[in-house]
Structures are given as structure tokens and as C-alpha cells.
A and B are shown apart, each in its own frame.
Chain A
Amino acid sequence: MPRPAGVVTEPVSEVAAAPPVHLDAFGPNGPYRARNRMTVPDVTGAPLAELSIVPPLFVQRGIAALRSADPLPPEQRAEALERAGRLFATATVGGLDPDSYRHLVSRCSGLPISVVRAATGIVAEAAQQASATVLQARPQAAAGQWRDPSTRAGAAVWTRRGNVFAVHAAGNHPGVHALWLEALALGYRVIVRPSRREPFTPHRLVAALREAGFADDHVALTATDHTVADTVIAGADLSLVYGGDDVVRKYGGHNTVLPQGPGRAKILLTGADWRTHLDVIVDSVADEGGTACINATAVLVEGGAAEAAAVADALAGRLAAIPSLPPQDPDAVLPVQPLAAARAVEAYLLRSARGATAHLGGDGIVDDLGDGSAVLRPAVFRLDRADAPQTGVELGFPCVWVAPWTRADGIAPLRESLVLTAITDDEQLVERLVDEPTISNVYVGDHPTYWMRPGLPHDRYLAEFLMRTKTVLRD
């Protein structure tokens, strides 16, 4: 496929013959190196690490230990989290200094190293602020603990819904591990099942948390076989599970499981001044390598085919200029995958794009780096109507569906969005977007879909799921 001039695709030589990195499980008796280990490959298939895969018995015993442990007092939790964040970002943890860790993440996940670097900061900041963040979700009437003087007259007290919190983590982006730290801040004991796509971040984070003061029976890491995954959920009181529509369907009716499904973030452009917002649109699509749930999947443009085509052309022009680079290159922007996986994504994209007009990537999006890996180059496809099903096809690289939208379409095509950026001055429309229950976050004006801040909800506050109120009355 055509690629911009001056692109460097030579693979950068790797750290030669380093001893294998061992990603041990973290159980109730400290680190555990399993007999059953999986080799974690880089994007070319070369081995990077050995991940210990533990059996259900290990998980059960780990959860039993978490359940019977007393959490640290709140102030100590806050201090330990703060310390863990600093260790995670700056210290040598488990034998890996921050640069080695980031290199491994980048080579394993194919994420641009700059994205990994920024994510390290995001996770560290989340750890430092977790104890303050969770308080944002506390109902105003509720006291933080039963000893509060208000309970002498009878008062609401904010308490945990359970004690053990399980996380089926995702491996698309290290930033996903920022969220579950809030459960630790609230006194939950946490067990994390890492994704094989990128186990380095949760391993480093749990190691840092233990070094920072959380005990072996406060936080655990258990990589398991797929068939054991449900054991982790079954044993915990509450769980956070990342996945696709299948996971959302599977756990949709469970009030103890919080599924984190596709983001399907969208941008709505009304009026004619979208050109001044092109940077925000491009960034919403391509920032984070297009791998995050908060990347824009669709752009809806008020008007007809001509207006949508103009936006699609402008986006294609900008996205086409991004170079193809190996992920560890400091200038890399696009994600890299093993060649076969990249080809599978490409085939899926082209199948999904039937009936759509290609503005970029119509002949394919795979740029073979020649070492077994390939860059996933951006794709821009135009649809002929706002309710075309492709607006919900979220792929893990900069891929955007542009569709025309009119007032007559209403907000139906904008539903089911983790983030909706509306570049509009129509307050009535904004009102309806804010009221729409299936839109999780609404940004009005020149704000990218990936905008996030500690203390603000991402997909509601996690603490809304983790906590409840109860009345306490005492003499």
C-alpha cells in the first residue's frame, strides 16, 4: 500500500539475549512462579517474557486470603497508593526500570512508546489521587465512617458493597489500570487477572502496590487460562470485566459485575465551522494510537453527502501523513500488530466497509514492517446515512466512519457512546445529549473525545458501583 515518503521501517535492534523476564503470579504467600508458563511475545513473535499461569486452586486460595484480610486504615491506604504510583513511574520494580518496562509494553502491545510513556504518568497520577477521587462519588448526605458525630442523630454512612473486587483487565492500553486503584482506596482487596496481550503493566502495578505497603493478602495478580476466568469472578464479591459486546451481554443482568464494553465514542459537527476544529477531530481519532475506548469511532456531520465527504477528505489528508514506524520509535503514532493479526483486522475492516465509500484505507491498512509485524494505518470511510450500523464498528487503530446527519435523524444515531463531543451551539440538542442515558460523557465544543481528568467520572464513578449507603444510629 502507498505510504508517505521518508518512512523508516527498519526494525530497531532489540536488547540482545537478555535473560527472560518472569511475570510471576502474586498470591497470598508472595510471588509464585508457576510450572505452567506462557511465553509473552512481542509484535514480531519474539519472546519477551514468561507469564505464570495459575490454576483455579491458586485463585481460590488467593481470594480466600483476600477475604479474610483486614484492609489498611484509610490514611495508610492513601499513602501507600501515593507511594505505589511513584514507584510505578520512577523506580526499578521487579527488576525492571521504567524505561525497560515501557519498552516491553510497547514491543508487546504495539502501542507507540510515547503513548506508553504518557500512560505511565496517568496511572501514577491516578494512584496518587485515588483516595481523593473516590470521595467525589460520595452522596452529600453520607458520612465517610460510622464514628462521624452525625450518626448520633442517625445518618447515612457510605460503606462497601463487598470486600473482594476482581478485575478482568484489558490489554489494549496501560491506562485501563488507573481505574481499579479506586477499589483499593475504598478498602477493597483486589485480585487482577491480566490480559495476555499486555501483562507487564498490571504486574508492575501490583508489585509496586505490595512494595508500597499493601500486604500479600490485599492485592493479588493471577493470570489464568480462559476456562478459569469465571472462577475469578465467581469468587469475588464484585467484578470489573473488560470485553466486547459478548461480555456486555453476558454480564449485563448481573448487579455484581460491571462490564466495560466498546466505547464507540462519537463526534457530532453542526453548522459550518468544523474546519477550525479539525485538530480536535484528528486527535480524537488518532491519539493513543486509536487503541482506546475513548477514541472517536464515528463523526456525524450535519448536512448531506457533500458535507460528510468534505470532512472525510480533510481527515484522510491529515491521517495519511502519519508515518509508519516501529512502536518503540519515539516518533511512532500508529499501533503495530503481528502481521497475521493485522491482516485479520484489515479483512474485518474491509468486510465491514461494504457499501461505504473509502477516503483512506480502502485498499487495506496493513503496512508490513518486514520483521513479522505491521503498522495499522488509518482508515476513513464515509457512510450514506447516520444510522448505518458501521458507526458502531470500533477497531483498535485510527479508524473512523464519517456519516451525514440531519436534525430529522435526532439523537438516535448518537446513542451508545462512551463520549460524545458535540461541536455545536444548539443548546437544546446539548440538553438532549446530556439527558440521554446511553451517552456516558458529553463534551461541548473544541474538546477531544479522549479528554479525562482524575476526579471526573469516565463511565460513571466506579465508586457508584462499589459503595452503598446505610443508616447508622447510635447513642
Chain B
Amino acid sequence: MSDDGRTDPVLDCPAEETPDGQELITAAMRWHFSPRTGSPFWLERAATLDFDPLTDVKSFDDLRLFPNIVNELRDVRVEELIPRGLAPDDLYGVYESGGTTGAPKRVICTTDWMDRWLAFSQRHLDARGCPRGVNWLALMPDGPHIFGAALREGAKRSGGILFTVDMDPRWVKKCIAEGRGEDAARYADHLATQAGFLLETQDIGVMITTPPLLQRLAQDDRMVELINEKVRYIQWGGAHMDADTRHLFGTEVFPGVQLQGAYGSTMILGGSLERIDPPAEDVCVFDPFAPYISFSVIDPATGETVPYGERGQVVMNHVSKAMLLPNNLERDTAVRMRPPEGQMGDSVADVSPVATFDDQAVIEGVY
């Protein structure tokens, strides 16, 4: 190619188009494992792999050949992650994981990837009938977390003004891990108070927040009243929402508001959005932004894919020009669902953490 392979018809296809999954994978292997375009990180690791990504990785299933490299992203210099084929101004920013399991992991985001993700998100908002030109209120993590950046861009593109409330999820998780649940609750109160000032005084049509904060807002009758009066569309993400909570929000707390779930991770630079199902369908299915982002649901004991309708652990892949983040086993469990026609990989439903009713079997004492 004339520009040393810096542009590729598949990787650089228009953001409104969806490339074929196998073509995307083949093009991405060529990009990430060619000395002139790949990142130092992947080029160095290519030597340690017992397969050749250029010839052995052609399909979705082949992504499983890769080791899970996400733990290396805690220490690696971020420059090592940038594909050499990118121009300096292609980089949008550097983002980090939540940091719950030790030091945070880092990923890079390009302007091109942000465009693709936002086009996907906007297509979905439009399909849901989410109004354009209204203001957004985001009670979501910003700073090192990619959600904040994506929301800022998303609000702008849909023609609304974005209002934000600062939120540091790492502090909340630290409080909870230290058994300081009351501190986490105080922090939630603090965020809710700030949201209250905005909901009272501003025209908010779209709200983006987490299930725990939505639940905190639902405790306050005035907040519920304001949201029902002003907000037409709530997108939730960043934490699990169980089916009963979703049902109660939709039918009792915010009955006139569109509720839309998002399930993703910084480690895949985005994720999936809740499938638009007829209201009678009492299930929350997430379809990923395939083929760039793809899921499978496996039995962690065997590594085998579980049958449709059964619960397993979620494996996530990100394959784009910006990054290659394959075969990442997440801690979440989910029910494996049939994908929409043409989607690479699985869809997932009822994403949840491991259930606990009691801490452990109690032996001493009669209670």
C-alpha cells in the first residue's frame, strides 16, 4: 500500500458501516503484528506466542489462542501500547480500569475509535427514540475512566448540554472493602445532593448513572418526582442491575422513563447496550458492538462455551485499529444468549456477581 499500510479498507471503513468479523480479525492481525504498524507491546509479545497471529488467527474462535494480557497493562509504559502505524494526533487519550483488583490497568483510545463507538451508541439511542437536543446529566466516573470522555462527546453529538457530577468509584470501592459501608453511603448522599441541584434548576432530558446511585435517588421522593417530570431517558451502567430491581424501576419508580442498560468495561474500550425488546419481554439482553467488541460465555472450569440459556463466565475481546485486547476473562457471570443475525460471538443476559445469601455455614450457636 502506498502509505506503508497506515490505512486499511477494513479497519478504516466508514464509522456507519459494520465490517465482516473475519475480515476485521485478519486485517487487525496484519495491523498489530506488522513491524511497521504494530505496537511495541504486541510486537514484543509475538515472539513469545506459540502460534503466528498473522497466519493462525482468522476467526472469532482463534482469538482464544491469545493469552489474557490485561494484567500486564498495570505496569507497561503506555507508549508501548500505541501502534506505530498511528499518527501522533490519532491518540484521543489514555484511560484506566476501575482499580478494584490492585493497580489500575491502562488502555489507549484513538479519535477514530471514539467516533466508531459514538456512532454505535447514537444509532442505538435513535432506535430507542431517545430525544436529540436535550440536556444530559451524567452521574458517572470521569477522569481516568473512559465513560466520562464518551459521555462528553455523546452529549455534544446529540445536540445537548452535558451536566456532570464528579464521582470517584475507586474511593467507594475502597470504603466498601474496608467495611466502611457508611462512608460509601455518605458519598452516595453527597453525589445525590449535587444531582438534586441540577435536577431542580436545569432542564435534564437524559440521565446517565449507575444502578446504586439510581437506587439512592429513588429513596428521595423529591428526586423521583423531578426525574419523572423531566427525564425521558435513563441509561445505567458501571454496575449490575438485577432483574427485580430493573422491573421495579421500570414499573413503579420511573414508569414513564425509558430505561436503557449498558454493560462494558474500560478493558474493551466500550461494551454492549441493552437490546431493544418488546416491553413484554422481561429480560435484559446485552448485544456488544460487534465485531469490534465480542463476547463469549464459558464454563470457567473447562474453558468450553456453555449452551445458550445457561450461565457462565464472560470472556471479552476488543479488536480494532486502536487496540487488540483479546480473550479477557471477566469476573462477571451471565446467561449466554443467541446473538442477533450476523453478530460475531454471543450476547449476554442477566449479568450478575456471584450470589451470597449467608457468609458461610454457621456452626456454633443455635441461630
Contacts and interface: CB of A to CB of B under 8 A. Distances in A.
B364 interface: yes
Nearest to B219: A60
Given A36-B243, A57-B245, A226-B357, A292 B366 contact: yes
A364 interface: no
B364 A226 contact: no
A55 B358 contact: no
B366 A35 contact: no
A225 B364 contact: no
Interface string B331-361: 0000000000000000000000001111101
B248 A344 contact: no
B245 A348 contact: no
B168 interface: no
Contact of A61 (B242, B248, B358): B248
B79 interface: no
A53 B361 CA distance: 19
A255 interface: no
Interface in B227-259: 242-245, 247-249, 252-253
Q: Chain B: interface residue count, which band?
A: 20 to 34
Given A292-B366, A344-B363, A60 B247 contact: no
A36 B363 CA distance: 27
Nearest to A63: B219
B365 interface: yes
A57 B356 contact: no
A372 interface: no
Given A56-B215, A196-B358, A226-B356, A244 B249 contact: no
A137 to B, nearest CB: 24
Contact of A348 (B181, B218, B248, B363): B363
B367 interface: yes
Contacts, number: 95
A244 B365 contact: yes
Interface centre among B181, B185, B365, B366 (most CB of A within 10 A): B366
A225 B355 contact: yes
Given A60-B219, A61-B248, A244-B367, A35 B357 contact: no
B166 interface: no
B280 interface: no
Interface in A7-51: 29, 34-36, 38
B47 interface: no
Nearest to A53: B357
Nearest to A38: B357
Nearest to B283: A35
Contacts of A243: 365, 367
A291 B244 contact: no
Interface string B162-185: 000000000000000000010001
Interface in B203-227: 215, 218-219
A365 to B, nearest CB: 13
Given A245-B365, A394-B365, A58 B357 contact: no
A457 interface: no
Nearest to B358: A226
B362 interface: yes
A261 B364 CA distance: 11
B259 to A, nearest CB: 13
B366 A55 contact: no
Nearest to A28: B252
B282 interface: yes
Contacts of B362: 244
Contacts of B355: 225
Contacts of B357: 38, 53, 196, 225-226
Given A242-B367, A262-B367, A293-B367, 20 more contacts: A34-B244, A55-B244, A56-B215, A56-B245, A57-B244, A57-B253, A60-B215, A61-B253, A172-B366, A225-B355, A225-B357, A226-B357, A244-B362, A244-B364, A244-B365, A261-B365, A295-B366, A345-B363, A395-B364, A396-B366
9 contacts: A55-B242, A171-B367, A227-B356, A243-B367, A245-B365, A262-B364, A344-B361, A345-B363, A396-B366
Interface of A: 29, 34-36, 38, 53-58, 60-61, 64, 170-173, 195-196, 225-227, 230, 234, 242-245, 247, 260-263, 291-293, 295, 341, 344-345, 348, 393-396
Interface of B: 181, 185, 215, 218-219, 242-245, 247-249, 252-253, 282, 355-359, 361-367
